[in-house]
Amino acid sequence: MKNKKQIGRYGLPLEVKYCEKCNVTNQKPTSINEYQHDRDTLQIPINFDKNNICYACKVIEEKWKGAVDWKEREKELIELCDRYKNFKGQYNCLVGGSGGKDSAFQSHMLKYKYGMRPLTVTWAPHVYTDIGWKNFQNWINIGGFDNYLFTPNGKIHRYLTRRATINILHPYQPFIIGQKNFAAKLAYSFNIPLIFYGESVSDYGTKLGNAKQFSTKIEDSHPGFTQDPISSMNIKDVKLGGDPISFHIEQGYNINDFECFLPLDVNKFKEKKIETHFLGYYLKWVPQENFYYAVENTGFQVNNERVEGTYQKYAGIDDKIEGFFYYTAHIKFGYGRAMSDSTMEVRNGHITKEEGLGLIKQFDGEFPKKHEKDFLEYISMTREKFDELCDKFRPDHIWERKSNRWELKNPPWEYFEKKNK
């Protein structure tokens, strides 16, 4: 266990380091149980080994350097699919997604290569972008899928997004937990026995006890990836937006208003014998290759300009609020969108470490100006109040004030420059 003196705000290491291979910061959080998340929550940062190599780099390296027999993995997938080919329902599997590159790849491969009958399921974004809505329609109409689009109560979604921003500076939290859990609820309601998720989160540095699927036992898995996150809690103590449900009830809301944000009871998984699997365990999962596949097979289109905060045009382009998820992550952890995108591309060999470092320096932490008005209206907050709020969440060991502006104390380009002297 780390000495408390080594731990900074949010449970992060006081000494800021960056991965020797991909540039990711050791401040990057991995998933936590969001139903317990409040302003005092300690994060679980990505693991670095003694050589300052991050866990994500080691996972990806194993995939590409012969540790994984991909032919054998695909054989496992075919055997899994064969078990459900004769399932008598209309659909024998379920795929959640937005019609972005990854869900397009996933659903199209399962249907047209492996002969499955997927129902695609979408938890609607806070505010659709034009290109996001177009790609969603193309996914269904060009890709050729049945789809169930669920839009949560807008009043509740806005309220929880505002509370999550105020309490934990995490405006995307309600969307993330809703999206993560809705697929299972629909599988239960529609009697669909098999759910496919995309890549394993271990690709991004989260250690899972089971790389194939979500665990049903919280002690067997990472706290953020279990089918059983709230069974040991009183329902009124479950937190949404950083507040317990009891607080929301005191504000005049009904407990039923929040039902769609809660996970499926783990006993219902067992009752209908629902299986969950990461398709990325069985097939090589490369985001850039998924993009090319989606363009060719489902009519996926890129944004007409780069996404603010990064350099690419094809990932995370569905929701006008998403840019503020990465912007606030940069505030809290020094981990922004350009770092998220570039570190994965470095690991997959699409760009060099040095190129990634340059992209981080140029774009990481950029304010998402294009959708500022939509976001601030959505959370009923002025820009001045939002900036004040952000400043309260900046950890002292990551940020310092210089010449009336905030700067990283130890940015990655300076970190490596010092090390290489």
The pLDDT value recorded for residue 207 is: 81
pLDDT in tens, 387-408: 999 999 999 999 999 988 999 9
Residue 101 lies in a domain: yes
Q: Which residue has the higher pLDDT, 227 or 387?
A: 387
Count of CA atoms in the C-beta half-sphere (13 A) of 378: 24
Residue 14 lies in a domain: no
Mean pLDDT, rounded, of the chain? 93
Portion of the chain with pLDDT greater than 70, in percent: 96
Residue 206 lies in a domain: yes
Residue 167 lies in a domain: yes
Binned at pLDDT 50, 70 and 90, residue 1 comes out as very low
Q: List, as one string, the DSSP characters of 205-256.
A: T---S-SSS-BSSGGGS-TTSBS-SSTTS-GGG-EETTEEHHHHHHTT--GG
Q: What is the pLDDT averaged over residues 155-161?
A: 98
The pLDDT value recorded for residue 228 is: 75
Q: What is the pLDDT averaged over residues 256-263?
A: 95
| CA gap 183, 75 in Å, rounded | 26
**Hunting for tokens 């005191």 — which residue is that?**
250
Residue 129 lies in a domain: yes
Q: What is the pLDDT averaged over residues 261-282?
A: 93
| CA gap 390, 331 in Å, rounded | 7
Binned at pLDDT 50, 70 and 90, residue 205 comes out as confident
The number of distinct structural domains making up the chain is 1
Check whether 219 has a pLDDT greater than 80: no
Binned at pLDDT 50, 70 and 90, residue 221 comes out as low
Range of the domain at 123: 70-282
Per-residue tokens: 269: 């998984």
Domain of 183: which CATH number?
Answer: 3.40.50
| CA gap 200, 279 in Å, rounded | 8
Q: Which residue has the higher pLDDT, 291 or 222?
A: 291
| CA gap 151, 168 in Å, rounded | 24
The pLDDT value recorded for residue 217 is: 57
